[in-house]
Amino acid sequence: MSRGYAENENNFTLLRLLLALMVVLGHFKLLSGTAQPDFPFNLAGAAVDCFFVVSGFLIALSYERSHDVWAFYVRRIFRIYPMYVCVVLVQTAILLSLLPGGPLSAPVSTLRYLAANLVMANFLQYDIGGTLNGLPTPGINPSLWTLKIELGFYLAVPLIVMAVRRWGWQVLAFIFIGSVAYDVLTTDPRFARQLPGQLQFFVVGMGFAMLKKPVRLHPLITVAVGAIFFISWNTLRNIPPGICPIIVGAFVYCFAFCIPVVPMRRDLSYSVYLLHAPMLQTLILLHLFHDNLLFLTGVVVTVLSYAALSELAVERPGITFGHRLARIVRRRAQVGPKVA
């Protein structure tokens, strides 16, 4: 794996924010009942695939820079879990406040919801006491399904990187082919969207991390890649497995490395991704949702405002604490156990 990538010489922060906003646009239509929205509201799935490629690249480099597997895990957990816990608790408060019988009327359902969601097993219970029954999507936060996939990838990264160090890029090719085969052979799309089906996106990003330095492509190639990406999601109902991660990966790479860098000091993408759906679902449930441009603008501005606050108050302290704890873990690993 390469360490020749500088953090301030790419557009990953901007890309992640735009991808999160693509998900917001998609959910604005999907959660309100539009089954097949038109452009630009039809790119939520494409944005999630892009996120997986981005994670493959960034997490591989993060592991390389950690120098210790346990320090790597500590940093990853405190990157995603503090904000995640806050969102789950806020969702719980929203659902309890909307229970017809009052916030204490469904204690068993409440405890099951908290237990399942705090360990990222959101699929076990999406709701408390049927509060969201009747909504087009009966779940307070449909975005959370991707986080358990991210966590599973984190667990696999050290093994994949060690295998790549020993056998080279062929390992990534083997995983890619196996992941595509699983996707094709799995008859239930719910399972195809989980691991190992999504590894085909992650390993494309990891493949980029193997390059010694970014390869700057001709502007015409970059424009062509962007055009193929957007045309594919607007003309094809389902892009075939194996082809989809290549298109997505090419788009991610060109956006990150082949266009002028837009410096951004803060990364709001994670908070935007987690916060928008509970807001939309609450508005829909209370019959306050309006499908028009003015209302959408208000939603986006509100989500960005809350994301800025949560990034400052929750994400940043969690990341800082995780880095400090990782340094402690790494130092103890270097010193080793004391001999009596």
User: Does residue 273 fall inside a structural domain?
Assistant: yes
CB 184 within 8 A of CB 36: no
User: Does residue 262 fall inside a structural domain?
Assistant: yes
Q: Which two tokens stand for residue 280?
A: 């939309």
Does pLDDT of 260 surpass 50? yes
Q: Encode pLDDT of 118-169 as tens digits.
A: 999 998 898 999 898 888 888 899 999 999 999 999 999 999 999 999 999 9
| Surface-to-core class of residue 118, CB atoms within 10 Å of its CB (0-12 exposed, 13-18 middle, 19+ buried) | middle
Helix orientation angle between 69-98 and 316-335, rounded to the nearest 10 degrees: 150
Helix/strand number for the chain, H first, E second: 13, 0
User: Does residue 154 fall inside a structural domain?
Assistant: yes
Q: Among all chains, which residue has been given the structure tokens 């492509």?
A: 217
Rounded Cα distance between 177 and 157, Å, is 17
CB 33 within 8 A of CB 136: yes
Rounded Cα distance between 92 and 86, Å, is 10
User: Does residue 127 fall inside a structural domain?
Assistant: no
Under DSSP, is residue 196 helix (H, G, I), strand (E, B) or coil?
Answer: coil
User: Does residue 99 fall inside a structural domain?
Assistant: no
Cis omega (within 30 of 0) on the bond before 158? no
Q: Is the model's pTM score more than 0.85?
A: yes
Does pLDDT of 327 surpass 80? yes
User: Does residue 133 fall inside a structural domain?
Assistant: no
How does DSSP classify residue 240? P
Q: Encode pLDDT of 159-199 as tens digits.
A: 999 999 999 999 999 999 999 999 999 988 888 889 999 99
Output the average pLDDT for the chain: 92
User: Does residue 179 fall inside a structural domain?
Assistant: yes
Work out the end-to-end distance of the chain between its first and last CA atoms, rounded to an integer number of angstroms.
Answer: 39
For range 228-254, the mean pLDDT: 92
Q: Which pLDDT band holds residue 2 (cuts at 50, 70, 90)? A: low
User: Does residue 116 fall inside a structural domain?
Assistant: no
Number of domains in the chain: 1
The pLDDT value given to residue 238: 83
Q: Which domain holds residue 21?
A: 12-93+140-333
CB 212 within 8 A of CB 20: no
Q: Which two tokens stand for residue 264?
A: 């951004």
Under DSSP, is residue 8 helix (H, G, I), strand (E, B) or coil?
Answer: coil
How does DSSP classify residue 210? T
The pLDDT value given to residue 191: 87
Q: Encode pLDDT of 17-39 as tens digits.
A: 999 999 999 999 999 998 889 99
- Name the residue type at position 266: R
Q: Among all chains, which residue has been given the structure tokens 């109902």?
A: 237
Rounded Cα distance between 90 and 82, Å, is 12
Rounded Cα distance between 52 and 72, Å, is 18
